Structure 1
Amino acid sequence: MRKTSLDVTAARVSPALPRRIPRLPGRFPRRLPVRQVLCLLPLALVAVVAVQHWTVLTEGFGKLGTGEWPWLLAAATTTCLAWVAAAVTRQGAVVERMPVFRLLATQFAAGAANHLLPTGLGASAVNLRFMTVCGIPLARSSAALALYILAEAISRVTLLIALLLAFPSALRLSTLLPEGAVGPLLLAVAVATVVAAAVLLLVRRLRTAAVSFLRTALGEARSVHTRPARALALWGGSLAFPALQAAGLVAVGQALGLQIPAAHMAVAYLAATVAVALVPTPGGLGSVEAALIVTLVAAGGDAAVATAVVLTYRIITVWLPLLPGALTLGVLVRLKVI
């Protein structure tokens, strides 16, 4: 078949034509990348939380200026060491070796996330994402996360029981629980446990998922405990973490002249944090302060001084690191570390 002149002309012109029609500038708005939004989200949440707790912030910073600076510096040091202890515990919960500096930066960022989201959810999400980025499968990362939470809870309760046995008069329990409240409290815990067990037994999908997760978690725990270095990091770090937090409160108490023995203040801290562990508030904001004041008063402290101590302690451990932690979180998201 002979080509016509029109076909020849089209063949000559077509290579010069652009393959795609260029987008006119300003015609269609570009979508904001999701990762950039995630980088800015922590800063926005910090602003929201700061506005919500503005009164506490102003009062706490006012109390901060009245304390003895060597003790306040000691409290800040224990706060930094607590992040190191958290990083050691996280490493002990997995067999693979994770990058040290990224792991430490992740714990600092996870602390900020933990105060911006319901208790434990922020830090868990950050660490879960970090482990998966490090190449650990999601199932094993979840098992390592559960192992960390379990080890930290066991260590905190064990430390509290040991101090209560050593100092039985550290807390006046009658001021913490109304008369006759222990029975209903234990009954409520028993009922919740029975209901959860019944749901797992009756719902097949939940039962299957729970059994599968339990097998993975047990396998991960077995692998970790066959390596003495990992087991030492897991349990040593999980014991050091609440001990350093309690030491920070003791240092603030000394800075503001709270007339309570150091061991009694440590017992008050551990009792308060164990009591509010199941309260779903961001970072325990509000609930931790109230519980700490109650337990410090139960330990024999003056209510006004105890309030000042708690506000100053939360300024050092929560509010001062919150903005740098949020910035670190945004940088880690930007660099795709999490």
Structure 2
Amino acid sequence: MTAHTLTRSAGSGRTTWALRRGRASLRVERRSVLVCGVLVLVVAALGVLTLATGSIQLTPAQVLSALFDPDAEPRTRLVVVTWRLPRLLFAVVCGAALAVSGALFQSLTKNPLGSPDVIGFASGSYAGASVVMLMLGTANYLAVGTGSLIGGAATALLVYLLAYRGGVRPFRLIIVGIAVGAFLSSITSMLLLAVSPHQAMLVATWGAGSLSGLGFEQLRVTALVFAALLICSVGVVRPLVHLEMGDDTALALGVNAQRARLTATVVGVALTALVTAAVGPIAFIALAAPQIAQRLTRSSTTLRIAPAALTGAAVLVAADFIAQRVDLPVGVVTVCVGGAYLAWLLARQYRGGSR
């Protein structure tokens, strides 16, 4: 950057940094930068603890040596870099992807309950992936990913069609989504009962959500797709922020409301499908992470992509650390913690009179 100025936003008391080069400019709030910095440190610290956890216990010093010292003990490098590091990186990528997806849908619905977990899109991705594994008899990543994406997209279309009555109201969208999600969960259960116990156990184990057994080969594909979707999500932030102020205001600012909603929905569903295809359904990260990030940054919107993504990464890495300590799939841990969070959020919404 050729120029750097420090300004204070008018009337809000928020210190912002404005970076300008030619006609391009970037404004970031100081608090958001500080929160992102702290979250990076939290993810790094949790990552070291996670890499030290397992059947072969290591110290943080051994983990750091294996990561950064080429002359470290080969056995330790094998355990840390080859066996455990892909799982940690998957937790970071998947947590960030789910958080960004949740931020997009919560902005679209203007409701903290508007996450893909609650409005049925995650159930659609799970159902689509289950159909591929059960009917086609394959667990190929590309095939499962395609089924997951088709299932999520079809569910999103169905929910929008059923909720549309001269427009889509956020509360109606959430209620319809909950109903469609419950229906799809029932269909998936029926499919599991109709196949052999071996097939059912395979899908049920995958459906618990696990980061085990993943390597760098799968990580490369997941990371590349996530990077592309992250760029797309950044591109729809400004239109969605304008839409939060109302369609008329957004239209006056030159925003095509229907195109922005469609793009955000496609990107959000694709992010959810990406995670579902890689590790199975991981519940409640998309619901909780954007809300936590919003409170940390004291922002008026959940559409702070970087803080939300880092919060999601931190939450999923922490959940995976706990899962390894208690020997459970990470999806079970997120359900236990997220269920309590959802109950608190519903109680808070009810006390606040939000409908």
TM-score, length of structure 2 as denominator length: 0.28
The structure richer in helix per residue is 1
Larger Cα-atom Rg:
1
Higher relative contact order, chain-length normalized (CA < 8 Å, sep 6+): 1
Greater percentage in strand: 2
